[in-house]
């Protein structure tokens, strides 16, 4: 029996009540939930030692293991007491052996089956075993405890609401998402591929919809590249915010990830091999392969348009993803655009973020309209096609401008009303410094 033990986290300074909620792996007679590498090594793992007192060293050691196992798979025989219903295993784990026999004590038999885990670079093999009731619809199977029936119903409904967006962008989900109830009501949720562990106590369908769109995206698009697999699932969440509200809601959702990316880039800068080791195609930094990758897909969407990116994502084939440039070439084929510079700055290297400032604004009146000449400088090492927003007394207008790394570019914008301010970047490009982005137009800027 593995009792609930929080000393692993309290040793590194996590407050005890918080530790209890995120470190909930346990084995007992009535409820067992055990996550694999990075949490509890319940299967053999050959990895160098890493100290938990150095969070980065653990993440890096786990990251190196995952990269090594990118094509790996694992076969595990699970035996569980028939009193318990074994429900959740992990993404792309499948029961390949069937039930191959009963063992255990007389009167308390076990049922055993062989399971296969693949996708070890993007999933954490885990198992949960408890007495559950199960409900399912076309998209998810939810295993819940009887007192959490309404939470389970809310999640099942949320999955139905989330499915059309996922299908539209990533194709039809290829398997059902599995949702499993956690014993502790305050336990923090955990995802591993298409498996979601959650206490199922929420009545908030909207927050479940955000979780479900992420989960179903994993079910529709499988990649062993973490930046594609997780980037797409987070990108889908931003798309959903836009669909439920508007573009600003999506930008706010992505903005809630920005500070973590900026901090991640600051930490990465201390590494001499950062440009290569922290590239999206290689990194084991979660903020990068999740949050930064989400922004990268959003920027690509703004550049090539929905239709081209949807075609590229829906046609993604793991079997053809044998070269880091596979996704680039697929989007280029669909959009007829050269994206080499963009992938060089954001995907194949870690060059930090963009940092725009308005260099100058000149305004000239012509036939009752104002013609603005806006010059933008990018002080960062990553270029982007960035929105330029002109605010007027009534309304605003948005143009786009490609500003490469360490460069300046100029755009001419005609507006009917008198302009008040010009802002570079509406929040869709991750920047290290957002404090220098707005230029207020003074009367002396206007030449007559």
Contact present, 195 and 126 (Cβ < 8 Å): yes
For residues 402 and 126, what is the distance between their CA atoms, to the nearest angstrom? 45
CA-to-CA dists, residue 149 to 146, 212, 242, 275, angstroms: 6, 17, 30, 49
Nearest to 224 by CA among 374, 72, 425, 433: 72
Strand partners, 213: none
**DSSP codes, 110-123:** EEEEEEEEE-TTT-
Q: What 3-state class would DSSP assign to 354? A: strand
Q: Which is nearer to Zn ion, 93 or 335 (CB)?
A: 93
Contact residues for 148 (Cβ-Cβ < 8 A; gap 6+): 181, 199, 200, 201
For residues 445 and 427, what is the distance between their CA atoms, to the nearest angstrom? 26
Q: Which is nearer to Zn ion, 223 or 335 (CB)?
A: 223
Nearest to 299 by CA among 408, 387, 230: 387
CB of 211 to Zn ion, least distance (A): 10
Question: What six digits make up the tokens of 313?
Answer: 């994502």
CB of 195 to Zn ion, least distance (A): 10
For residues 387 and 401, what is the distance between their CA atoms, to the nearest angstrom? 6
Q: Which is nearer to Zn ion, 291 or 335 (CB)?
A: 291
Q: Which is nearer to Zn ion, 230 or 385 (CB)?
A: 230
User: What angle (nearest 5°) sits at the alpha carbon of residue 130, between those of residues 128 and 135?
Assistant: 90
Q: What 3-state class would DSSP assign to 401? A: strand
Q: Which is nearer to Zn ion, 192 or 428 (CB)?
A: 192
Count how many residues are written for the chain: 448
Contact residues for 180 (Cβ-Cβ < 8 A; gap 6+): 33, 87, 88, 128, 132, 142, 143, 195, 196, 197, 198
Computed over its alpha carbons, how large is the radius of gyration of the chain? 25
Nearest to 200 by CA among 188, 182, 212, 214: 182
CB of 191 to Zn ion, least distance (A): 5
CB of 174 to Zn ion, least distance (A): 15
CB of 230 to Zn ion, least distance (A): 5
Q: Which is nearer to Zn ion, 191 or 377 (CB)?
A: 191
CB of 332 to Zn ion, least distance (A): 26
CB of 226 to Zn ion, least distance (A): 9
Q: Which is nearer to Zn ion, 231 or 352 (CB)?
A: 231
CB of 234 to Zn ion, least distance (A): 7
C-beta nearest to Zn ion: residue: 233
Interhelix angle 293-304/326-335, nearest 10 degrees: 20
Q: Which is nearer to Zn ion, 191 or 385 (CB)?
A: 191
Q: Which is nearer to Zn ion, 290 or 357 (CB)?
A: 290
Residue 441 DSSP symbol: P
For residues 352 and 264, what is the distance between their CA atoms, to the nearest angstrom? 9
CB of 122 to Zn ion, least distance (A): 8
For residues 10 and 16, what is the distance between their CA atoms, to the nearest angstrom? 6
Q: Which is nearer to Zn ion, 289 or 356 (CB)?
A: 289
CB of 161 to Zn ion, least distance (A): 19
Q: Which is nearer to Zn ion, 86 or 194 (CB)?
A: 194
For residues 116 and 353, what is the distance between their CA atoms, to the nearest angstrom? 40
Contact residues for Zn ion (CB under 5 A)? 191, 230, 233
CB of 419 to Zn ion, least distance (A): 42
CB of 218 to Zn ion, least distance (A): 6
Q: Which is nearer to Zn ion, 35 or 349 (CB)?
A: 35
């Amino acid at each position: 029996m593995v009792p609930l033990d929080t000393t692993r986290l309290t040793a590194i300074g996590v407050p005890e009540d918080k530790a209890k909620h995120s470190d909930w792996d346990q084995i007992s007679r009535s409820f067992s939930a055990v996550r694999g590498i990075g949490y509890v090594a319940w299967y053999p793992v050959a990895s160098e030692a890493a100290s938990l007192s150095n969070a980065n060293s653990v993440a890096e050691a786990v990251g190196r293991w995952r990269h090594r196992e990118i094509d790996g798979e694992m076969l595990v025989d699970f035996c569980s007491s028939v009193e318990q219903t074994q429900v959740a295993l992990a993404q792309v784990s499948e029961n390949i052996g069937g039930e191959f026999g009963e063992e255990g004590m007389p009167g308390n038999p076990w049922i055993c089956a062989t399971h296969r885990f693949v996708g070890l670079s993007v999933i954490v093999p885990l198992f949960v075993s408890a007495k559950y009731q199960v409900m399912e619809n076309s998209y998810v199977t939810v295993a819940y405890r009887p007192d959490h029936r309404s939470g389970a119903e809310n999640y099942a409904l949320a999955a139905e609401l989330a499915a059309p967006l996922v299908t539209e962008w990533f194709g039809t989900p290829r398997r059902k998402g599995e949702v499993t109830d956690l014993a502790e009501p305050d336990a923090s949720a955990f995802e591993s591929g298409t498996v979601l562990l959650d206490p199922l106590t929420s009545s908030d369908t909207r927050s479940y919809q955000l979780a479900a769109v992420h989960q179903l995206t994993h079910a529709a698009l499988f990649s062993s590249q973490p930046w594609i697999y997780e980037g797409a699932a987070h990108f889908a969440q931003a798309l959903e915010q836009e669909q439920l509200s508007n573009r600003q809601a999506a930008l706010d959702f992505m903005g809630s990830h920005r500070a973590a990316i900026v901090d991640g880039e600051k930490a990465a800068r201390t590494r001499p091999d950062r440009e290569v080791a922290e590239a999206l195609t290689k990194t084991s930094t979660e903020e990068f392969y999740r949050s930064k990758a989400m922004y990268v897909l959003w920027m690509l969407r703004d550049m090539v348009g929905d239709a081209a990116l949807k075609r590229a994502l829906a046609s993604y084939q793991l079997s053809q993803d044998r070269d880091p440039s596979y996704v680039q070439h697929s989007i280029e084929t669909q959009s007829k655009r050269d994206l080499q510079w963009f992938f060089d700055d954001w995907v194949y290297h870690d060059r930090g973020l963009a940092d725009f400032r308005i260099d100058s604004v000149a305004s000239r009146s012509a036939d009752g309209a104002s013609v603005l000449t806006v010059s933008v400088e990018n002080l960062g090492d990553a270029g982007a096609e960035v929105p330029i927003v002109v605010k007027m007394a009534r309304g605003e207008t948005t143009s786009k401008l490609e500003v490469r790394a360490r460069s300046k570019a100029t755009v001419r914008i005609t507006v009917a009303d008198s302009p008040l301010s010009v802002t570079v970047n509406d929040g869709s490009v991750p920047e290290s410094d957002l404090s220098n982005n707005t230029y207020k137009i003074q009367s002396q800027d206007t030449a007559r």
